[in-house]
Amino acid sequence: MEAAADQPYHSLGMAEPQRKAVALMSGGLDSALAAALTKRLGFEVVGLNLATGFCTGQGRCDTVLAQGLALGIPVRLLDVSEEYLEVVKHPRFGRGQGMNPCLDCRIFMVRKAGEVMEEEGASFVVTGEVLGQRPMSQHREALELVARESGLGEKLVRPLSGRLLGPTFPERMGWVRREDWLDIEGRSRKRQLELAKEWGIPVFTQPAGGCCILLERAYSKRLKDLIREKGVDSLTKDDFALLRYGRHFRLGPRTRVVVGRDEVENTALLSFPGDHYVLSFPDVPGPVALVLGEVGEEELRLAAELAARYSDAQDQAPVRVLAQRDGKTTELWVVPMAKDDPRLRKLRIDR
């Protein structure tokens, strides 16, 4: 039996839940402030960082752990990348400007935080969402939708905008007063930066800096192109990961080429499993390139000419290219595609 909306559990003779919260922490400033405020109000706090496989930025886990250390709270790191693929493939509430399923993403993350809340014996979930900060996912109706669809309802607390939103579980329990929450609203971050200095939060990522690679224009174009080729339901975790690397070209309805841009990407491309050709240059410095899909002799030669354009081979001078697949090596001699060849722009997927 739930307590009446205007009465705390203890006034009805019911056992009082634990004063403990799970705080979703992205490495950004707002989520760190929300966790800090919750602790300052006397609650035990457990930080939670969810790795979806689509976050951008380097060292985000290190940033979250550093924030937890500075705030004196433990942080759990949870890999949810396999489950999150379904959110990306089939969002119920649409996408943002790119291929980002903003509302479905928030619902998924809050729902996972709710599961951890149960595991931890906590009583509510805290996020750093700010009313009016983001146009798709942080207007009032969207915040209410996330609370409802996640199943948490009033157990989902946004401390930074708490005074401006509906009543919360901690308020109903009598653990906090409404004025204990903040009333931050809109896109300005001046107040958050002041609080970070005051509360000693040493590190945080830039606003939206690690939100989601699905927001990026080039990645979105590559993903839309791949969906047209393979269909969304057939896409794998490796398919999504490969879209992050290199230059992408479409040679035919079911043939594409990925050309590495530097040594880091070349190494990454070599690590990808699957039935595809790997192109390399034994005689001159050059990129690693993958040729994927249905590849005949014509497509393979065109791919080699294209990849050779990004090698150190001299213009119009034949260069040797090795094409490896299934343990077999094919040797090709090709003339690199000219830098001003119109096919480069025509075939490029992510321009």
Does residue 76 share a domain with residue 150? yes
Domain-terminating residue out of 187, 214, 241: 214
Sheet containing strand 75-79, edge to edge, reads 75-79, 44-51, 20-24, 124-126, 156-157
Query: Does 165 map to a domain?
Result: yes
| Residue 291 to residue 302: CA distance in whole angstroms | 10
| Listed residue (140, 139, 89, 106) closest to 24, CA to CA | 106
Q: Domain containing 99: what range?
A: 9-214
Which tokens sit at 60? 């985000």
pLDDT tens sequence across 81-98: 999 999 999 999 998 878
Task: Give the count of domains, the chain.
Answer: 2
Q: What is the pTM of this model?
A: 0.86
The domain that contains 199 carries what CATH number? 3.40.50.620
Does residue 93 share a domain with residue 224? no
Mean pLDDT confidence for 107-121:
97
9-18, 65-74, 153-162, 252-261: least confident range: 9-18
Query: Does 98 map to a domain?
Result: yes
Does residue 149 share a domain with residue 16? yes
Neighbours of 148 (CB within 10 A): 12
Does residue 224 share a domain with residue 208? no
Does residue 106 share a domain with residue 238? no
| Residue 258 to residue 228: CA distance in whole angstroms | 17
Q: In sequence order, what are the residues at sequence separation of 6 or more whose Cβ sits closer than 8 angstroms to the Cβ of residue 126?
A: 21, 22, 23, 24, 34, 35, 38, 45, 157, 158, 159
Query: Does 2 map to a domain?
Result: no
Percent of the chain at pLDDT > 70 equals: 93
Query: Does 268 map to a domain?
Result: yes
Does residue 282 share a domain with residue 224? yes
Does residue 327 share a domain with residue 282? yes
| Residue 140 to residue 301: CA distance in whole angstroms | 55
Does residue 283 share a domain with residue 148? no
Q: In sequence order, what are the residues at sequence separation of 6 or more whose Cβ sits closer than 8 angstroms to the Cβ of residue 12?
A: 3, 4
Cβ-contact 311, 305 below 8 angstroms: no
More confident residue, 3 or 63: 63
**Is residue 15 helix, strand or coil?**
coil
Does residue 324 share a domain with residue 205? no
Cβ-contact 219, 242 below 8 angstroms: no
Q: How high is the pLDDT of residue 7? A: 52
pLDDT tens sequence across 186-223: 999 999 999 999 998 877 776 554 457 888 999 999 99
Q: How high is the pLDDT of residue 37? A: 98
Q: Is the pLDDT of residue 5 over 50?
A: no
Which tokens sit at 41? 């109000």
Domain-terminating residue out of 183, 214, 245: 214
Domain-terminating residue out of 214, 230, 255: 214
5-14, 208-217, 220-229: least confident range: 5-14
